[in-house]
Amino acid sequence: MSATSRPTPQDQRAIVSRLNRASGQLNGVVRMLEEGRDCEDIVTQLAAVSKAVNSAAHTLVFTSLRQCLADGRADADEVQARLQKVLLALA
């Protein structure tokens, strides 16, 4: 993606917030493991971490796509194909 497909400051704050939340949750998972907590509780927290990271990634990809389409870029089809590839990697 090019420099013109960077997230807006508002989108960037949302992405950073989600990643910070995921980081805190992941640290919690490590503590849970070290404390010998129940496997089910640990897996539940790992699922929350995964959702937070995926949410941040999706926000980033959709922001880029929105900007690409709004800018009326000549290479919009190429950018769309690249973003689709990224989305498939997240699936």
User: Is the model's pTM score more than 0.85?
Assistant: no
Give the single-character DSSP code of 2.
-
d(CA 18, CA 6): 17
Number of domains forming the structure of the chain = 1
The pLDDT, as a whole number, for residue 81 is 77
Q: pLDDT-based confidence at 73, cuts 50/70/90?
A: low
6: pLDDT strictly greater than 60: yes
Q: What is the extent of the structural domain holding 58?
A: 3-90
Q: pLDDT-based confidence at 72, cuts 50/70/90?
A: low
d(CA 63, CA 91): 18
CATH at 75 = 1.20.58.1000
d(CA 79, CA 46): 32
Q: pLDDT tens, 26-40? A: 999 999 999 999 999
